[in-house]
Amino acid sequence: MTDQERRTGRDETPEERADRMWTELIQEVRVAQTGVQILFGFLLTVVFQQKYAELSHVDKTIYIVTVLLGASATGALIGPVSLHRLVSGRKVKPEAVRLASRLTLIGLFLLLATMTASLVLILRVATEGSAVTWVVAAVVAWYLVCWYGLPLWSRHRHTTH
């Protein structure tokens, strides 16, 4: 198969496509990394606050789960950077892009879980109201629409077959 036969609608070779996709992926990861790192850094300080000792056992459990989710999200979203460093120059960029993309999707899911758990904890401590479940469900629904619903709808609507 010649280079011309392998070209896509963008008129790029598989290697050029992998380079472009890698650049786009890293830009996306930078946005998510910033958010998760700020949230995770904040979560790490909570345990050192005086109010932490006053939390109920349930709230402390939610906190621990939230920290573990945040640590996992951070790992998944930083993973593509380490992946790139370790495979750079090995002529496996298309495979690296696919793996990094999967890590990013996992990281975004873990970020969603971290943000959900954080909201539950914060609203439980701040309000003591029964509306916490409904408020968190509404925010998570919003995240799902923004992060997955609209992109999947757009992909379905605008993808040519």
Torsions phi, psi for 158 (to 5 deg):
-110, 5
**Cα-based torsion angle of the residue sequence 87, 90, 93, 96 in order, rounded to the nearest 10 degrees:** -30
What is the pTM (predicted TM-score) of this model? 0.85
Q: Give how far the C-alpha of residue 150 lies from the chain's centroid of Cα atoms, to the nearest Å.
A: 16
pLDDT digits (tens, 9 = 90+) for 123-158: 999 997 789 999 999 999 999 999 999 999 999 999
Round to whole Å and give the CA distance between 106 and 124.
27
Write the secondary structure of 102-160 as one string of H (helix), E (strand) and C (coil). HHHHHHHHHHHHHHHHHHHHHHHHHHCCCCHHHHHHHHHHHHHHHHHHHHHHHHHHHCC
The residue that leads in pLDDT, 5 or 95, is: 95
34 to 9, 37, 108, 122, 151: CA distances (angstroms): 33, 5, 12, 21, 21
65 to 77, 106, 130: CA distances (angstroms): 18, 17, 21
Confidence of residue 108 (pLDDT cuts 50, 70, 90): very high
Residue 89 gets the label, from left (phi > 0), alpha (psi -120 to 50) or beta, of left
Round to whole Å and give the CA distance between 135 and 70.
21
pLDDT digits (tens, 9 = 90+) for 53-95: 999 999 999 999 999 999 999 999 999 999 988 988 888 989 9
Round to whole Å and give the CA distance between 18 and 135.
41
* Token representation of residue 14: 């598989």
